[in-house]
Amino acid sequence: MTEASTDSADSCLYAAAARALAVRDPQAKGVLVDDLRNDWSAGRLRRRGSEPPWPVDAPGRPARPGLVPPRDLVHRRLSTEAGRAALIHAIAHIEFNAINLALDAVQRFRDMPDTYYSDWLGVAQDEARHFFMLRRRLQSLGHDYGDFPAHDGLWAACCDTAHDVMVRMALVPRVLEARGLDVTPGMIRRLQAAKDTETVDCLRIILDEEQDHVRIGSTWFAYCCRQRGLDAERIFRDLLSRYMHGRIRGPFNESARLDAGFSREDMRLLKELSTANAGGD
Protein backbone atom coordinates (compact mmCIF):
# COMPACT_ATOMS: atom_id res chain seq x y z
CA MET A 1 0.00 0.00 0.00
CA THR A 2 1.34 3.46 -0.85
CA GLU A 3 0.84 6.57 1.25
CA ALA A 4 -1.80 7.78 -1.17
CA SER A 5 -3.60 4.39 -0.93
CA THR A 6 -4.96 2.63 -3.96
CA ASP A 7 -8.45 1.52 -3.01
CA SER A 8 -10.63 4.44 -4.02
CA ALA A 9 -9.96 6.56 -0.95
CA ASP A 10 -12.52 9.05 -2.22
CA SER A 11 -15.36 6.61 -1.45
CA CYS A 12 -13.99 3.91 0.90
CA LEU A 13 -14.03 4.77 4.60
CA TYR A 14 -11.27 2.32 5.48
CA ALA A 15 -8.93 3.41 2.68
CA ALA A 16 -9.52 7.09 3.49
CA ALA A 17 -8.74 6.49 7.17
CA ALA A 18 -5.61 4.51 6.22
CA ARG A 19 -4.51 7.37 3.98
CA ALA A 20 -4.87 9.87 6.83
CA LEU A 21 -3.06 7.50 9.20
CA ALA A 22 -0.14 7.17 6.78
CA VAL A 23 0.42 10.92 6.34
CA ARG A 24 3.50 12.11 8.22
CA ASP A 25 3.00 15.87 8.29
CA PRO A 26 0.82 16.91 11.26
CA GLN A 27 -0.81 19.81 9.42
CA ALA A 28 -1.75 17.66 6.42
CA LYS A 29 -2.99 14.92 8.73
CA GLY A 30 -5.25 17.38 10.54
CA VAL A 31 -6.79 18.52 7.24
CA LEU A 32 -7.44 14.93 6.20
CA VAL A 33 -9.03 14.12 9.56
CA ASP A 34 -11.49 17.01 9.14
CA ASP A 35 -12.26 15.94 5.57
CA LEU A 36 -12.73 12.34 6.66
CA ARG A 37 -15.18 13.20 9.44
CA ASN A 38 -17.13 15.55 7.18
CA ASP A 39 -17.28 13.07 4.28
CA TRP A 40 -18.46 10.25 6.55
CA SER A 41 -21.12 12.45 8.17
CA ALA A 42 -22.34 13.58 4.73
CA GLY A 43 -22.60 10.01 3.43
CA ARG A 44 -19.83 10.37 0.88
CA LEU A 45 -17.91 7.39 2.27
CA ARG A 46 -18.97 3.76 2.29
CA ARG A 47 -17.76 0.77 4.28
CA ARG A 48 -16.21 -1.17 1.47
CA GLY A 49 -12.80 -2.00 0.12
CA SER A 50 -10.61 -5.05 -0.02
CA GLU A 51 -7.19 -3.65 0.80
CA PRO A 52 -5.71 -4.82 4.10
CA PRO A 53 -5.31 -2.33 6.95
CA TRP A 54 -2.33 -0.01 6.98
CA PRO A 55 0.57 -1.76 8.80
CA VAL A 56 0.30 -1.14 12.53
CA ASP A 57 4.07 -0.76 12.84
CA ALA A 58 4.20 2.09 10.31
CA PRO A 59 2.11 5.02 11.63
CA GLY A 60 2.49 8.29 9.77
CA ARG A 61 4.50 10.68 11.92
CA PRO A 62 7.23 13.25 11.36
CA ALA A 63 10.91 12.40 11.68
CA ARG A 64 11.04 14.37 14.92
CA PRO A 65 10.65 14.02 17.86
CA GLY A 66 13.23 11.36 18.42
CA LEU A 67 11.86 8.40 20.37
CA VAL A 68 13.63 7.19 23.51
CA PRO A 69 12.75 4.84 26.39
CA PRO A 70 10.61 6.55 29.05
CA ARG A 71 13.42 6.29 31.60
CA ASP A 72 15.61 8.48 29.36
CA LEU A 73 13.24 11.42 29.38
CA VAL A 74 14.36 14.39 31.47
CA HIS A 75 11.82 15.65 34.01
CA ARG A 76 11.98 19.42 34.48
CA ARG A 77 10.42 21.70 37.05
CA LEU A 78 7.16 23.39 36.05
CA SER A 79 8.35 26.51 37.85
CA THR A 80 10.60 27.12 34.82
CA GLU A 81 9.50 28.02 31.31
CA ALA A 82 11.69 25.24 29.90
CA GLY A 83 9.99 22.74 32.20
CA ARG A 84 6.54 23.88 31.13
CA ALA A 85 7.53 23.67 27.47
CA ALA A 86 8.76 20.10 28.00
CA LEU A 87 5.45 19.16 29.64
CA ILE A 88 3.39 20.73 26.85
CA HIS A 89 5.51 18.88 24.30
CA ALA A 90 4.95 15.57 26.09
CA ILE A 91 1.18 16.07 26.10
CA ALA A 92 1.21 17.21 22.47
CA HIS A 93 3.02 13.98 21.59
CA ILE A 94 0.31 11.97 23.34
CA GLU A 95 -2.36 13.86 21.42
CA PHE A 96 -0.62 13.30 18.08
CA ASN A 97 -0.41 9.58 18.81
CA ALA A 98 -4.08 9.66 19.80
CA ILE A 99 -4.99 10.99 16.33
CA ASN A 100 -3.30 7.96 14.81
CA LEU A 101 -4.87 5.61 17.36
CA ALA A 102 -8.35 6.83 16.50
CA LEU A 103 -7.67 6.52 12.77
CA ASP A 104 -6.29 3.04 13.26
CA ALA A 105 -9.41 2.05 15.21
CA VAL A 106 -11.45 3.09 12.16
CA GLN A 107 -9.41 1.46 9.42
CA ARG A 108 -8.38 -1.74 11.21
CA PHE A 109 -11.60 -3.08 12.73
CA ARG A 110 -14.17 -3.47 9.99
CA ASP A 111 -17.12 -5.36 11.48
CA MET A 112 -18.46 -2.79 13.94
CA PRO A 113 -21.68 -0.73 13.76
CA ASP A 114 -21.69 2.59 11.90
CA THR A 115 -21.84 4.51 15.18
CA TYR A 116 -18.48 3.03 16.17
CA TYR A 117 -16.86 4.71 13.15
CA SER A 118 -18.69 7.96 13.82
CA ASP A 119 -17.43 7.91 17.40
CA TRP A 120 -13.79 7.30 16.52
CA LEU A 121 -13.76 9.81 13.67
CA GLY A 122 -15.04 12.35 16.18
CA VAL A 123 -12.28 11.36 18.58
CA ALA A 124 -9.67 11.78 15.83
CA GLN A 125 -10.97 15.27 15.12
CA ASP A 126 -10.89 16.20 18.82
CA GLU A 127 -7.36 14.86 19.24
CA ALA A 128 -6.17 16.84 16.23
CA ARG A 129 -7.69 19.99 17.70
CA HIS A 130 -5.96 19.27 21.03
CA PHE A 131 -2.63 18.71 19.28
CA PHE A 132 -2.76 21.98 17.36
CA MET A 133 -3.90 23.90 20.44
CA LEU A 134 -0.89 22.60 22.36
CA ARG A 135 1.42 23.16 19.42
CA ARG A 136 0.39 26.82 19.27
CA ARG A 137 1.04 27.14 23.00
CA LEU A 138 4.43 25.48 22.55
CA GLN A 139 5.29 27.87 19.71
CA SER A 140 4.37 30.82 21.91
CA LEU A 141 7.13 29.66 24.25
CA GLY A 142 9.70 29.56 21.44
CA HIS A 143 9.53 25.81 20.74
CA ASP A 144 7.77 23.46 18.34
CA TYR A 145 6.70 19.84 18.18
CA GLY A 146 9.82 17.75 17.74
CA ASP A 147 12.11 19.92 19.85
CA PHE A 148 12.11 17.47 22.77
CA PRO A 149 12.52 13.67 22.79
CA ALA A 150 9.45 11.53 23.41
CA HIS A 151 8.58 7.90 24.10
CA ASP A 152 6.44 5.47 22.11
CA GLY A 153 4.52 3.64 24.83
CA LEU A 154 1.07 4.57 23.55
CA TRP A 155 1.75 3.32 20.04
CA ALA A 156 3.36 0.14 21.37
CA ALA A 157 0.00 -0.62 22.99
CA CYS A 158 -1.67 -0.07 19.62
CA CYS A 159 0.58 -2.75 18.13
CA ASP A 160 -0.13 -5.13 21.02
CA THR A 161 -3.90 -4.80 20.51
CA ALA A 162 -4.11 -4.78 16.72
CA HIS A 163 -5.52 -8.30 16.61
CA ASP A 164 -8.79 -7.66 18.47
CA VAL A 165 -11.05 -4.62 18.77
CA MET A 166 -12.25 -5.76 22.21
CA VAL A 167 -8.69 -5.83 23.53
CA ARG A 168 -7.97 -2.44 21.93
CA MET A 169 -11.03 -0.85 23.54
CA ALA A 170 -10.20 -2.35 26.93
CA LEU A 171 -6.55 -1.38 27.10
CA VAL A 172 -5.94 1.78 25.10
CA PRO A 173 -8.84 4.10 25.98
CA ARG A 174 -9.65 2.51 29.36
CA VAL A 175 -6.10 2.10 30.69
CA LEU A 176 -3.52 4.26 28.91
CA GLU A 177 -5.66 7.19 27.82
CA ALA A 178 -7.71 7.06 31.02
CA ARG A 179 -4.50 7.78 32.92
CA GLY A 180 -4.88 11.35 31.71
CA LEU A 181 -8.04 11.66 33.77
CA ASP A 182 -5.98 10.83 36.86
CA VAL A 183 -2.93 13.02 36.32
CA THR A 184 -4.26 16.10 34.50
CA PRO A 185 -5.97 17.71 37.53
CA GLY A 186 -2.62 17.65 39.37
CA MET A 187 -0.88 19.18 36.35
CA ILE A 188 -3.50 21.93 36.30
CA ARG A 189 -2.89 22.73 39.98
CA ARG A 190 0.88 22.88 39.47
CA LEU A 191 0.51 25.11 36.42
CA GLN A 192 -1.87 27.38 38.33
CA ALA A 193 0.81 27.71 41.00
CA ALA A 194 3.23 28.69 38.24
CA LYS A 195 0.62 31.22 36.95
CA ASP A 196 0.57 29.59 33.50
CA THR A 197 -3.08 30.31 32.79
CA GLU A 198 -2.76 29.73 29.03
CA THR A 199 -1.66 26.12 29.46
CA VAL A 200 -4.23 25.58 32.21
CA ASP A 201 -6.97 26.63 29.79
CA CYS A 202 -5.70 24.09 27.24
CA LEU A 203 -5.60 21.27 29.77
CA ARG A 204 -9.09 21.98 31.07
CA ILE A 205 -10.50 21.58 27.55
CA ILE A 206 -8.51 18.39 27.03
CA LEU A 207 -9.54 16.88 30.37
CA ASP A 208 -13.23 17.46 29.67
CA GLU A 209 -13.11 15.99 26.18
CA GLU A 210 -10.81 13.09 27.05
CA GLN A 211 -13.41 11.91 29.54
CA ASP A 212 -15.80 11.55 26.60
CA HIS A 213 -13.16 9.61 24.68
CA VAL A 214 -12.64 7.17 27.53
CA ARG A 215 -16.42 6.78 27.77
CA ILE A 216 -16.47 5.86 24.07
CA GLY A 217 -13.85 3.19 24.73
CA SER A 218 -15.93 1.85 27.62
CA THR A 219 -19.06 1.79 25.46
CA TRP A 220 -17.45 -0.25 22.69
CA PHE A 221 -15.64 -2.56 25.09
CA ALA A 222 -18.99 -3.36 26.71
CA TYR A 223 -20.54 -3.83 23.26
CA CYS A 224 -17.86 -6.35 22.26
CA CYS A 225 -18.32 -8.26 25.50
CA ARG A 226 -22.09 -8.45 25.01
CA GLN A 227 -21.65 -9.62 21.42
CA ARG A 228 -19.38 -12.43 22.58
CA GLY A 229 -21.40 -13.37 25.66
CA LEU A 230 -18.57 -12.36 28.01
CA ASP A 231 -18.62 -10.76 31.44
CA ALA A 232 -17.01 -7.34 30.95
CA GLU A 233 -15.62 -7.00 34.47
CA ARG A 234 -14.06 -10.46 34.41
CA ILE A 235 -12.58 -9.93 30.94
CA PHE A 236 -11.17 -6.56 31.98
CA ARG A 237 -9.40 -8.25 34.89
CA ASP A 238 -8.04 -10.98 32.60
CA LEU A 239 -6.77 -8.49 30.04
CA LEU A 240 -5.04 -6.36 32.66
CA SER A 241 -3.29 -9.46 33.97
CA ARG A 242 -2.31 -10.64 30.50
CA TYR A 243 -1.10 -7.37 29.01
CA MET A 244 -0.27 -4.79 31.66
CA HIS A 245 2.25 -6.85 33.70
CA GLY A 246 2.17 -4.76 36.85
CA ARG A 247 1.96 -1.37 35.12
CA ILE A 248 -1.22 -0.16 36.81
CA ARG A 249 -0.52 2.93 38.87
CA GLY A 250 -2.76 5.05 41.08
CA PRO A 251 -4.09 7.20 42.48
CA PHE A 252 -7.23 7.36 40.33
CA ASN A 253 -9.70 10.11 39.53
CA GLU A 254 -12.57 7.85 40.54
CA SER A 255 -15.42 10.26 39.83
CA ALA A 256 -14.16 10.97 36.32
CA ARG A 257 -13.60 7.29 35.62
CA LEU A 258 -17.07 6.34 36.85
CA ASP A 259 -18.53 9.02 34.59
CA ALA A 260 -16.45 7.57 31.74
CA GLY A 261 -18.00 4.11 32.04
CA PHE A 262 -15.95 2.29 34.68
CA SER A 263 -17.92 0.20 37.15
CA ARG A 264 -17.37 0.14 40.90
CA GLU A 265 -15.88 -3.31 40.47
CA ASP A 266 -13.49 -1.99 37.79
CA MET A 267 -12.33 0.67 40.22
CA ARG A 268 -11.92 -1.84 43.02
CA LEU A 269 -9.78 -3.96 40.71
CA LEU A 270 -7.60 -1.04 39.60
CA LYS A 271 -7.00 0.02 43.20
CA GLU A 272 -6.15 -3.55 44.15
CA LEU A 273 -3.63 -3.85 41.31
CA SER A 274 -2.05 -0.46 41.94
CA THR A 275 -1.63 -1.28 45.64
CA ALA A 276 -0.01 -4.62 44.80
CA ASN A 277 2.33 -2.91 42.32
CA ALA A 278 3.30 -0.23 44.83
CA GLY A 279 4.08 -2.94 47.35
CA GLY A 280 6.38 -4.62 44.86
CA ASP A 281 8.36 -1.52 43.90
Say which range, 16-25, 69-78, 99-108, 203-212, has the weakest mean pLDDT: 69-78
Q: Is residue 147, in this structure, part of any structural domain at all?
A: yes
Q: Which CATH number fits the domain that encloses residue 75?
A: 1.20.1260
Please state the domain count of the chain: 1
pLDDT digits (tens, 9 = 90+) for 12-59: 999 999 999 999 999 999 999 999 999 999 999 999 877 899 999 999
Q: Is residue 111 in a domain?
A: yes
pLDDT of residue 69: 85
**Among 22-26, 158-162, 270-274, 275-279, whose mean pLDDT is lowest?**
275-279
- Domain assignment present for residue 245? The answer is yes
Does residue 1 form part of some domain? no
Tens digit of each residue's pLDDT (9 = 90 or more) over 179-221: 999 999 999 999 999 999 999 999 999 999 999 999 999 999 9
Report residue 4's pLDDT band, with 50, 70 and 90 as the boundaries: very low
Q: For residue 72, what pLDDT is reported?
A: 79
Per-residue pLDDT band at 269 (split at 50, 70, 90): very high
Predicted confidence (pLDDT) at residue 246 exceeds the cutoff of 80: no
Is 205 a domain residue? yes
DSSP assignments along the chain, one per residue: --TT-SS-TTTBHHHHHHHHHH---HHHHHHHHHHHHHHHHTT--BS---SPPPPTT-----S-SPB--GGGSPP--TTSHHHHHHHHHHHHHHHHHHHHHHHHHHHH--SS-HHHHHHHHHHHHHHHHHHHHHHHHHHHTT--TTSS-B--HHHHHHHHTTT-HHHHHHHIIIIIITHHHHHHHHHHHHHHHTT-HHHHHHHHHHHHHHHHHHHHHHHHHHHHHHHHT--HHHHHHHHIIIIITT-------HHHHHHTT--HHHHHHHHHHHHHHHHH-
Cis peptide before 65 (omega within 30 of 0): yes
Name the pTM for this structure: 0.93
8 Å CB contact between 37 and 5:
no
Domain that holds residue 62: 13-280
Residue 4 inside a domain? The answer is no
The answer to the question of residue 5 being in a domain is no
User: 8 in a domain, yes or no?
Assistant: no
